[in-house]
């Protein structure tokens, strides 16, 4: 059968191909919305290799979450105008024409499953929450950081996944300004 453009036998490369395929699949359709056969086929292998290399679908998802949440999206290092920059990035990436995939989409599409939600919680607390918290000064930084994340996640949900009309059709500038003001409440250290 051997495919014309057959990949040479290479465990590391195959593992990586599965992981890459899984990242986009889980992000696009959520943990329960995709099967291991889809992921494997997209990587050009059979489904059994998922279990061989990642133990189980859940193990694969754990690694996907870890990788996806590790890359520093959404929180630029410059603390100069954190609220405005974050709001701008959010609005741009949730624009109807944008096709950005990332941790927010992954979280929103998989959080319905309790086991997936627990894996996501670990990922947030290890990566995103920590980064966001570190960018804030003053007391209650963790709570303020997670409230900021909540606003971003909720906006992403309504604007991209659900697609409510007001947020979908809103003027980007206006939207950025509003989100910036809401974010500032938790970004700027309390007096």
Partner DNA sequence: CCGGCAAGTCTACAGCTGATAACTTGTCAT
Partner DNA sequence: ATGACAAGTTATCAGCTGTAGACTTGCCGG
For residue 163, the minimal CB distance to DNA (Å) is 23
- Closest to DNA by CB, 54 or 132: 54
The DSSP letter of residue 105 is H
Tell me the window of 35-43, 64-72, 95-103, 163-171 that interacts with a copy of itself (CB under 8 A): 163-171
First to last CA, the chain: 69
**DSSP one-letter string for 22-74:** HHHHHHHH-STT--HHHHHHHHTS-THHHHHHHSSHHHHHHHHHHHHHHS--S
Residue 68 in the binding site for a copy of itself (CB under 8 A): no
List 72, 163, 173, 189, residue binding a copy of itself (CB under 8 A)? 163
Token pair in block for residue 27:
């992000």
H or E segment to which residue 190 belongs: none
Of 21 and 27, which CB lies nearer to a copy of itself in the complex structure?
27
Q: Choose which of 56, 162, 172, 189 interacts with a copy of itself (CB under 8 A).
A: 162
- In the window 69-128, what residues touch a copy of itself (CB under 8 A)? 107-113, 117-118, 120-121, 124-125
* Cβ-contact 86, 65 below 8 angstroms: no
From a copy of itself, DNA, none, interface partner of 23 (C-beta below 5 to 8 A by class) = none
To DNA, the closest distance from the beta carbon of 10 in angstroms equals 6
DSSP one-letter code for 31: S
* Shortest Å, Cβ 31 to DNA: 8
The whole-angstrom distance between residue 31's C-alpha and the CA centroid of its chain comes to 13
Rule CB under 8 A: is residue 152 a binding residue for a copy of itself?
yes
Q: Which stretches of the chain bind DNA, using CB under 7 A?
A: 1-2, 7-11, 14, 34-38, 45-52, 56-58
Contacts of 34 (CB under 8 A, 6+ apart): 25, 26, 28
Size of interface with a copy of itself, in residues (CB under 8 A): 51
CB closer to a copy of itself, 44 vs 121: 121
């Amino acid at each position: 059968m051997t495919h014309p453009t057959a990949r040479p036998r290479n465990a590391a490369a195959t593992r990586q191909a599965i992981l890459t395929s899984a990242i986009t699949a889980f992000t696009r359709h959520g943990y329960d919305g995709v099967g291991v056969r889809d992921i494997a086929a997209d990587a050009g292998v059979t489904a059994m290799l998922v279990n061989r290399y990642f133990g189980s679908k859940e193990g694969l998802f754990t690694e996907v979450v870890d990788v996806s949440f590790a890359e520093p999206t959404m929180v630029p290092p410059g603390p100069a105008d954190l609220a405005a920059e974050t709001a701008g990035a959010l609005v741009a990436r949730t624009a109807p024409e944008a096709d950005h995939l990332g941790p927010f989409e992954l979280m929103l599409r998989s959080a319905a499953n309790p086991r997936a939600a627990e894996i996501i919680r670990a990922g947030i607390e290890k990566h995103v929450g920590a980064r966001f918290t570190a960018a804030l000064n003053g007391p209650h930084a963790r709570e303020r950081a997670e409230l900021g994340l909540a606003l971003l996640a909720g906006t992403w949900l309504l604007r991209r996944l659900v697609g409510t009309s007001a947020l979908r059709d809103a003027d980007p500038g206006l939207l950025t300004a509003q989100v910036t003001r809401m974010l500032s409440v938790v970004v700027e250290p309390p007096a």
